Amino acid sequence: MLNAPARLSIVQPPHAAFDVVKVLWVRHWNEHLFSLAVERPQSFRFRSGEFVMLGMEVEGKPLMRAYSIASAAWAEEVEFLSIKVEDGPLTSRLQLVGEGDELYLGRKPTGTLVTDALRPGKRLFLLSTGTGLAPFLSLIRDPDTYERFEQVVVVHSVRRVSDLAFRDELSARLADDPLVGEQAAAQLHYVPTCTREPFENQGRIQNLIEDGKLFGDPITGPNAFDPAEDRIMLCGSTAMINEFAKRFEETGFEEGSNARPADFVIERAFVG
């Protein structure tokens, strides 16, 4: 029996606008969701919650997409969370990469899902759907987040239970994290919900608000969003972001930015 041919490594030619970085690891959560991490160039700096361009050469040209960074700003690797799209120009290729392969990484991270874009408050709600969880993984691994807010509530809405990436780590409140483990144990709350399979929480984020689960024990404070002490970040589907942005503005919240911090922020780079 002949051995199968060795898999060819994915390499990228040098490019003036991007760094060439090696893939350190890949983790497939299910058939349409995966994480990967690449080495971090020495000159690469970002704030927790920002996004950057990631991609590879396709047909002689760089094919790049904006990806939120899932690793903390202090980490030695740059981590991402991605869906798998069978016929997606980039993700159909990206999902096939393995350890040692090369990708292009942008040099200018940016974005509004950063604590600098919010006024001081007591509770920070991070509302996400699908891979919108990624920037919040960065924020909850950053000690500064816990210095700024007394409670940090991560809400993750997905279709299926297997889509709850990092469920074990979040349920354990990042107990194994050497930098924020103690702070997260006291201040981090994880609220996952599924819309298409039986689960402890069922329905969309709106359902959690209506039945009070979003504000239930062990979360303390008002049983509704309060502009006086709550700050909110939104990341995920366009429909969810638009729905909640409108809702918050109608109830007295102001949208913030890097130039003018306020009560809630969204990542407009991903909004159509």
> Residue 1's pLDDT is what?
46
Label residue 189 exposed, middle or buried (CB < 10 Å: 0-12, 13-18, 19+): buried
Per-residue pLDDT tens over the stretch 15-49: 999 999 999 999 999 999 999 999 999 999 999 99
Structure tokens at 73: 């700003």
Q: What is the pTM of this model?
A: 0.94
Structure tokens at 226: 């309060």
User: Are 100 and 114 in contact, with CB atoms under 8 Å apart?
Assistant: no
β-partners of residue 129 are 157
Per-residue pLDDT tens over the stretch 132-180: 999 999 999 999 999 999 999 999 999 999 999 999 999 999 998 989 9
User: Are 91 and 82 in contact, with CB atoms under 8 Å apart?
Assistant: yes
Distance of alpha carbon 57 from alpha carbon 93, whole angstroms? 10
Q: Kindly provide the residue ranges of all beta strands, DSSP E only, lying in 84-209, ordered along the sequence.
A: 102-105, 123-129, 151-158, 188-194
β-partners of residue 262 are 118
Per-residue pLDDT tens over the stretch 219-262: 999 999 999 999 999 999 999 999 999 999 999 999 999 999 99
